[in-house]
Amino acid sequence: MTYENILIFISNHIMKSTRRDFIKIAAVGAGGLATSGGLFSWARANFFEEVPNAPGMTRTPTYCEICFWKCAGWVYKNEKGEIQKIIGNDEDPHCNGRLCPRGTGGVGMYYDEDRLKTPLVRRTVNGKQVFEPASWDEALDVVAQNLKKVAKEHGPECVALFTHGSGGKFFGDLLKAFGSENITAPSFAQCRGPREVAFLSTFGEIIASPERTDIRDTRCLVLIGSHIGENMHNGQVQEMSDAIDNGATIITVDPRYSTAASKSKYWLPIKPSTDIALLLAWINVIINEEWYDKKYVEKYCYGLEELKNHVKTFTPEWAYGITTIRPDVIYETAREMANASPAVIIHPGRHVTWYGDDTQRLRAVAILNALLGSWGRRGGFYSPEKKDLPSYPHPEFPKPKRTWRDAHPGKYNLALEVVSNDICDSTIPSPDRACNFKAWIVNGTNLIFTLPDQKKTLEAIQSLEFMVVIDTMPMEITGYADVVLPECTYLERYDYCRTDQHREPNIALRMPAAEPKYDSKPAWWIAKKLASKLDLDEYFKWNDIEELLDWQLKKVGTSLEEMKKVGVKKFPREYDDLYFYDDQEIQFNTNTGKIELYSTDLAAEGFVPMPVYTPHEEPQTGFYRLNYGRSPVHTFSRTANNPNLTDLMDENVLWVNPKVAKEWSLKAGQKIWLENQDGVLSTFPIKVRITERIRFDSVYMVHGFGHAEKRLTRSYGKGVSDTELITNVKTDPIMGGTGMRSNFVTFHVEDPHRKEVES
């Protein structure tokens, strides 16, 4: 009965065995260990008894760049001036003094000896393309010349910027000054876009980041595929733990027994891709039993009668046949939610681009929240506020003649941000477009691992006249660039202050704790220098970043000097309260001024105004649905080479149900190759983890591994890239999001690449 008694699980726990390996190596020759080398000189600190030296430490403020949560912290340096550790800032509402493992391990990003070290320019030498090291001046000249050429021949609008991270704001300013508004982040169309569009069309406001979920005070938290605790969105993980302490009910819907599922009162092991049916059944029960918040719905909502009619047939019995969740469980969990109302959260999730009908699924989530009256209520969704800093004075940006929307007129009208994959599509020349994208600037996003359908991404890149990549690491995307610019890490630079929303408006400062290593430079410096070479100096009139930041900070009553001391500063709320008060008159920012159960926006665009369930593709015999997710110690592929974090987990593994393993005679730890429904083979093999925690019809892996770039010495060839196996993309017609969970894999126990060569 007990298949997995005392499983010392791979990832973090591997160190138990890694430690053994190291012992062996140490016996052979201790001198060869990384620990004795220059990587972490502090690791050699020679201390007496057991007390590491604390005195002489100095600290500078930062906010973390390892993920988008941007926790504020202090970078501590030892008396030799070396960065030793990063500790959360107690005043910071994003982290409450506690960074997550990635943020704590952020030191590894700075010390990583595989970092990009100098500007590189692609040149042809003896008929072979190579990267030649260049000075900044040379490299930026090449960038400026090429961008000018594209602007002259095709118009500046044919340049697009892909960015994910703080530095992107400076390149965004540069691109706008240059004459293009095509600035895109994969965080919209490959991630949270559907929820933002769904919540905007329902409540007239988006969720944004950090999520406005009041988990701390909730009495019932419903997670649908959202694996908080494995995704280490710091504030939410902390608040979920508070909710557990407070005795809140957690309901987790997931085909995989996630960490969150193990903390839940109810785990609903749903058949993958059927979530909308479950949501509709919950809505059906809550309306039929009249468990919805009548006063709230009557006062604030639009379309209750239409919704009642719409869900009449979506009974728990109907949903049972689709989801495999028993009707009594659907009924009982609906009652749990209603009992907790309005302190209940049907969590909108974050990475929600799954099946192409994602906006509609998130609409169902929004509707359920509306019926239970949780929007604007304690323990539900609070009203966040942020402190905006004014822009440094600059001339008005030129008005571009075209934007990305002109490439496909009438498509994705409800998209709130530029659709990254659409930029990719419209880079591949097509006769029915006046202009294609001709140049890309890519900053801090490894598009090869970010965008699904790698073949298309590569085709788009091959169609470009010019691509410059600005990154800290030699990620795959840099290999396709014409110019590579080494950005310094967040521990070595200033950026714009963090101004994200929270319960209390607040700002956080990032300042350099150390000089940039190698010949790397901060984004602000690169953008300003490039602006100068593009004759756009007037848009970057500040002399250096400190002047810019101090000017902004003084406008809101603080200063760079004060921020250096405190790191985080909170401001009083200026607008409304955190929650609605009783009987408050509210004009919602929707067409009807109400919370729209029936969406007039969607109806006007020709989409169904209320969500429906549509069946999705199912695996063929011998194939398993490829599900992917997050590890608490990694952020996408961004951290895959970080020495501290690869120490915890240096490869992903494939979760396989024991029944499936038996059928295929797979052994735990055995390396296998994967092939997807379109015949795409994984480049590398992946180790099998046999576990009861996964359904028999799916497999699971952590995203971001399987790097094929040899310059990433710690992550090259470790595990499998889920992205290379995602070739069946289900595009959300409403907002352009790329649904990535309709891909299926089968196994090869022998290296199929070798077979190819032999035959």
Chain residues binding ligand SF4 by CB under 6 A are 64, 66-67, 69-71, 95, 99-100, 102-103, 232, 234, 635
List helix spans (H) across 352-403.
358-371
Judged by beta carbon, residue 69 or residue 382, the one nearer ligand SF4 is 69
Task: From 252, 217, 209, select the one nearest 234 (Cα to Cα).
Answer: 209
Judged by beta carbon, residue 301 or residue 694, the one nearer other proteins is 694
Task: From 359, 218, 370, select the one nearest 287 (Cα to Cα).
Answer: 370
- Give the integer Cα–Cα distance in Å for 62 and 94: 13
Could you say which of other proteins, ligand SF4, none residue 131 binds, taking C-beta under 5 to 8 angstroms by partner kind?
Answer: none
Task: From 207, 216, 499, 502, select the one nearest 384 (Cα to Cα).
Answer: 502
Do residues 75 and 62 make contact, with C-beta atoms less than 8 angstroms apart?
A: yes
Could you say which of ligand SF4, other proteins, none residue 69 binds, taking C-beta under 5 to 8 angstroms by partner kind?
Answer: ligand SF4
Query: Nearest distance from residue 355's CB to other proteins, in Å?
Result: 22
Q: Crossing angle for the helix pair 275-288 and 316-323, nearest 10 degrees?
A: 170
Judged by beta carbon, residue 30 or residue 416, the one nearer other proteins is 30
Where would I find the beta strands (DSSP E) of 436-489?
Answer: 439-443, 466-471, 483-486
Max Cα distance, the chain (Å): 77
Task: Count the Cβ atoms, other than its own, within 10 Å of residue 389.
Answer: 17
Judged by beta carbon, residue 90 or residue 550, the one nearer ligand SF4 is 90
In which element (H, E) is residue 626 found? strand 624-629
Could you say which of ligand SF4, other proteins, none residue 67 binds, taking C-beta under 5 to 8 angstroms by partner kind?
Answer: ligand SF4
Here the tokens at position 197 are 């569009």
Could you say which of other proteins, ligand SF4, none residue 85 binds, taking C-beta under 5 to 8 angstroms by partner kind?
Answer: other proteins
CA distances from 73 to 78, 235, 248 (A): 16, 14, 30
Do residues 69 and 88 make contact, with C-beta atoms less than 8 angstroms apart?
A: no
Query: Nearest distance from residue 304's CB to ligand SF4, in Å?
Result: 39
Query: Nearest distance from residue 634's CB to other proteins, in Å?
Result: 11
Judged by beta carbon, residue 182 or residue 631, the one nearer ligand SF4 is 631
Task: From 522, 514, 515, select the one nearest 78 (Cα to Cα).
Answer: 514
Judged by beta carbon, residue 98 or residue 377, the one nearer other proteins is 98
- Beta strands at 439-443 and 466-471: parallel, antiparallel or unpaired: parallel
The residues pairing with 629 across neighbouring beta strands, listed in sequence order, are 702
- Cα 259 to its chain centre, rounded Å, is 19
Here the tokens at position 309 are 């009619």
Secondary structure class of 280 (helix, strand, coil): helix
Which conformational region is residue 583 in: left (phi greater than 0), alpha (psi within -120 to 50 degrees), or beta? left
- The residues near 305 (Cβ < 8 Å, ≥ 6 apart) are none
Could you say which of other proteins, ligand SF4, none residue 648 binds, taking C-beta under 5 to 8 angstroms by partner kind?
Answer: other proteins
- Give the integer Cα–Cα distance in Å for 274 and 336: 21
Could you say which of ligand SF4, other proteins, none residue 105 binds, taking C-beta under 5 to 8 angstroms by partner kind?
Answer: other proteins
Query: Nearest distance from residue 634's CB to ligand SF4, in Å?
Result: 10
Could you say which of ligand SF4, other proteins, none residue 70 binds, taking C-beta under 5 to 8 angstroms by partner kind?
Answer: ligand SF4
Phi then psi for residue 266, to 5 deg, are -120, 125
Query: Nearest distance from residue 230's CB to other proteins, in Å?
Result: 7
Here the tokens at position 107 are 């030191």
Could you say which of ligand SF4, other proteins, none residue 50 binds, taking C-beta under 5 to 8 angstroms by partner kind?
Answer: other proteins
Q: Is the dihedral of CA 319, 323, 329, 334 positive or negative?
A: negative
Could you say which of other proteins, ligand SF4, none residue 328 binds, taking C-beta under 5 to 8 angstroms by partner kind?
Answer: none
Query: Nearest distance from residue 568's CB to ligand SF4, in Å?
Result: 13
CA distances from 598 to 300, 341, 375, 586 (A): 13, 21, 16, 18
Judged by beta carbon, residue 43 or residue 604, the one nearer other proteins is 43
Do residues 693 and 655 make contact, with C-beta atoms less than 8 angstroms apart?
A: yes
Could you say which of ligand SF4, other proteins, none residue 66 binds, taking C-beta under 5 to 8 angstroms by partner kind?
Answer: ligand SF4
Judged by beta carbon, residue 265 or residue 312, the one nearer other proteins is 265
Residue with tokens 């785990």: 267
Query: Nearest distance from residue 185's CB to ligand SF4, in Å?
Result: 16
Judged by beta carbon, residue 376 or residue 643, the one nearer other proteins is 643
Query: Nearest distance from residue 416's CB to other proteins, in Å?
Result: 30
- Give the integer Cα–Cα distance in Å for 11 and 17: 11
Judged by beta carbon, residue 134 or residue 185, the one nearer ligand SF4 is 185
Q: DSSP string spanning 197-224?
A: HHHHHHHSS---SS--B-GGG-SEEEEE
Could you say which of other proteins, ligand SF4, none residue 262 binds, taking C-beta under 5 to 8 angstroms by partner kind?
Answer: other proteins
Judged by beta carbon, residue 289 or residue 692, the one nearer other proteins is 692
Could you say which of ligand SF4, other proteins, none residue 22 binds, taking C-beta under 5 to 8 angstroms by partner kind?
Answer: other proteins
Query: Nearest distance from residue 109's CB to other proteins, in Å?
Result: 13
Radius of gyration of the chain (CA): 26
Judged by beta carbon, residue 351 or residue 521, the one nearer other proteins is 351
Judged by beta carbon, residue 195 or residue 256, the one nearer other proteins is 256
Judged by beta carbon, residue 89 or residue 682, the one nearer ligand SF4 is 89
Query: Nearest distance from residue 99's CB to ligand SF4, in Å?
Result: 4
Do residues 481 and 711 make contact, with C-beta atoms less than 8 angstroms apart?
A: no
Query: Nearest distance from residue 537's CB to other proteins, in Å?
Result: 42
Could you say which of other proteins, ligand SF4, none residue 64 binds, taking C-beta under 5 to 8 angstroms by partner kind?
Answer: ligand SF4
Could you say which of other proteins, ligand SF4, none residue 752 binds, taking C-beta under 5 to 8 angstroms by partner kind?
Answer: none
Could you say which of other proteins, ligand SF4, none residue 48 binds, taking C-beta under 5 to 8 angstroms by partner kind?
Answer: other proteins
Query: Nearest distance from residue 232's CB to other proteins, in Å?
Result: 6
Query: Nearest distance from residue 509's CB to ligand SF4, in Å?
Result: 15
Here the tokens at position 402 are 């075209």
- The residues near 342 (Cβ < 8 Å, ≥ 6 apart) are 293, 296, 372, 373, 374, 377, 378, 379, 380
Judged by beta carbon, residue 103 or residue 193, the one nearer ligand SF4 is 103
Do residues 724 and 682 make contact, with C-beta atoms less than 8 angstroms apart?
A: yes
- The three-point CA angle 449-455-458 to 5° equals 75
Do residues 490 and 510 make contact, with C-beta atoms less than 8 angstroms apart?
A: yes
Query: Nearest distance from residue 102's CB to ligand SF4, in Å?
Result: 4
Query: Nearest distance from residue 226's CB to other proteins, in Å?
Result: 13
Could you say which of other proteins, ligand SF4, none residue 39 binds, taking C-beta under 5 to 8 angstroms by partner kind?
Answer: other proteins
Judged by beta carbon, residue 135 or residue 246, the one nearer other proteins is 246
In which element (H, E) is residue 313 found? none
Query: Nearest distance from residue 483's CB to other proteins, in Å?
Result: 33
